[in-house]
Structure 1
Amino acid sequence: VRTRGMMNKVVSQIEAHPGPVLFTLVNHSLRDQLTSCCMQLGVPCIAILDPVIHTMANYFGVEMKGTPGLQHALDAEYFGRMDAMTFALTHDDGQHCSDLAKADIILVGVSRTSKTPTCMYLANRGIKAANIPVVPGCPIPDELLQADGPLIIGLTKDPARLVQVRQNRLRMLTDDRQETDYVNLEAVREEIAQARRFCVEHGWPLIDVTRRSIEETAATIMSYYARHIGGEP
């Protein structure tokens, strides 16, 4: 119920079918209208969330705003997150490199180093994040090497753990157990070593995600990003 007109309809229903009224209204005018009606009809009118809200407000030392729908407010921050989400989705796994320079952060790494979920986590915080896979035998996009605005970070992982993750991934996709370089430990070691050297050659920081959750990886990235936008080396 957001308007007096809507409340008038509610009041009419209460008058037609009197009985206890439980409500969660925060708008003071509508609350007064409802409670006044209930008093005239002699029916109980109970604000069921008031004890909880007042207790929380007192505990945290904040003032009740009395404005409905604040959790759904469509402000600049909300639209910024939506833009970042769209950017992350359209620039996932090396897609749409033509405007890669518009990214805030670009993650680089071999397959299954949590690039995509980390980008989505960052996007949910309003950060435009893209990711570029480092694939043996495949050239790195020129747009990545030419992007001088975004913060570029390499993600790496312990070879043995990476092989395990990739094997699990393959089992979900196919029943084929054929050994390939994708899950061959020695080949994966060399793949990771090459990717690490590539990042070091370009001066990009490296984060080992082996024992890090997505949240921990993102927190480390945000620390780098804060220094990046602050002009720190």
Structure 2
Amino acid sequence: MAARIHIHLVSDSTGETLESVARASLARFEGVDAVKHFWPLVRSKGHMDRVLDDIASNPGLVIFTLATGEVRNHLETRTEALGLPAVSAIDPVVAGLAMMLGKAATAKPGRQHKLDDAYFARVEAINYTMAHDDGQMAENWNEADILLVGVSRTSKTPTSIYLANRGYKTANYPLVPTRDPPPHMFQLKKPFIVGLTTTPQRLVEVRRNRLLSLAQAPDTTYVDNERVKAEVLNARRLFADQGWPVIDVTRKAIEETAAAVINLMNEALPSGEAGGPSPSA
């Protein structure tokens, strides 16, 4: 049976960092049934008291990102009295930065979410990406940082949205057997174009599940084995003819695919040029 544990994620901000840390750490252990208790925007002792009541009722590991001293001290004092481990998710990194920079860190919760130029650029990237999903508004592709191309159900849309949240304007285009890609796709200069592919077997499985979720009969040409094999083969030929890098998304998480896209884009940059979203994105 799986080992059952409680994990309390306590943050004075949105808690995104804690979610990522907990997910990555739990992935290192097999057979663990983790019950997560998520506590974002904890910025007062009164709120912390309510959190501590739940921690006392469901003892387990406490992971926190708390910038303010009083609230943090309250948590550490009470968890120590309860005999429970309380771990700061970012203290080692902050300490390393303080040593390198020669100055102390500020104690302002949620500072990473300030409404600066980078924040609004990220919003712009998300808006662009949503408007250019599934081949829409192809005439504006030269404004994109990235263009993802692939047959249906190769995770183009979720990967695009994830990249947009990283600040990259991302468009995507579905390759359809009965339709030729727009000619200007092959003359684009700005966007970094990446082909997404998967195994025919996996594609049939994903498509069949999609049809079932829509209450449609799973016996159309959309999931025909030979047709799907031909689709994947033709897509690979197109990618090779155009010299586009290819990522096989079979069994890959969206985060892994997006990271691979960014790595490929950075590798394609001229030597010495920094990677990252364009200033306009």
1:231 Cα deviation (Å)?
A: 6.1
- What is the DSSP-based 3-state SS (H/G/I as helix, E as strand, rest coil) of the residue aligned with 2:177? coil
Q: Pick from 132, 144, 151 the counterpart of residue 185 of structure 2.
A: 144
Counterpart contact for 1:110–1:191, Cα < 8 Å: yes
Q: Which amino acid aligns with 1:183?
A: V
Output the CA distance in 2 between the equivalents of 1:230 and 1:66: 39
Q: Which residue of structure 2 lines up, in the alignment, with residue 105 of structure 1?
A: 146
Aligned partner of 2:134 among 93, 96, 108: 93
Larger radius of gyration: 1
Alignment correspondent of 2:54:
none
Alignment of 1:213 onto 2:269: no
Moved over 3 A (4+): 21-24, 50-53, 55-60, 66-69
Aligned residues: 189
Corresponding letter in the other structure for 1:208? D
Cα distance in structure 2, aligned partners of 1:225 and 1:84: 17
TM normalised by structure 2 equals 0.61
TM-score by length of 1: 0.73
Change (3 A) 1:190 1:68: closer
Give 1:65's match in structure 2, choosing from 83, 106, 112: 106
Give the superposition deviation at 1:71. 4.4
The verdict on how the C-alpha distance between 1:231 and 1:141 changes in structure 2, with shifts beyond 3 A counting, is farther
Partner of 2:36: none
Contact 1:134 1:195 in 2 (8 A): yes
CA contact (8 A) 1:155 1:206 kept: yes
- CA deviation digits over 1:134-189, x for unaligned, max 9? 00010201231221121111000100110000000001112424x22210001000
Determine which structure has the larger helix proportion and give its number. 1
2:161 alignment counterpart: 120
**Distance between the aligned counterparts of 1:191 and 1:68, measured in 2?**
50
Counterpart position of 2:197: 156
Cα separation, partners in 2 of 1:167 and 1:58, compared to 1, 3 Å: closer
| 1:225 aligned residue (254, 257, 265) | 265
**The residue matched to 1:130 in structure 2 has which SS?**
strand
Q: Check whether the contact 1:84–1:128 (CA below 8 A) recurs between aligned residues.
A: yes
Any conservation in 1 of the 2:133–2:172 contact (CA below 8 Å)? yes
Indicate conservation of the 8 Å contact 2:207/2:222, yes or no. Answer: yes
In structure 2, C-alpha distance between the alignment counterparts of 1:150 and 1:143, rounded to whole Å: 12
- The alpha-carbon deviation at position 214 of structure 1 amounts to 1.0
Higher strand residue share: 2
Deviation of the 1:97 alpha carbon:
0.6
Q: 1:52 to 1:64 in 2, by over 3 A?
A: farther
Counterpart in the other structure of 1:77: 118
CA contact (8 A) 1:101 1:143 kept: no
8 Å CA contact retained: 1:100, 1:143? no
| Unaligned ranges ≥5, structure 1 | 1-20, 25-45
C-alpha deviations, 1:19-41, integer Å up to 9, x for none?
xx9479xxxxxxxxxxxxxxxxx
Q: 1:36 aligns to what?
A: none
Identity of aligned residues (%): 43
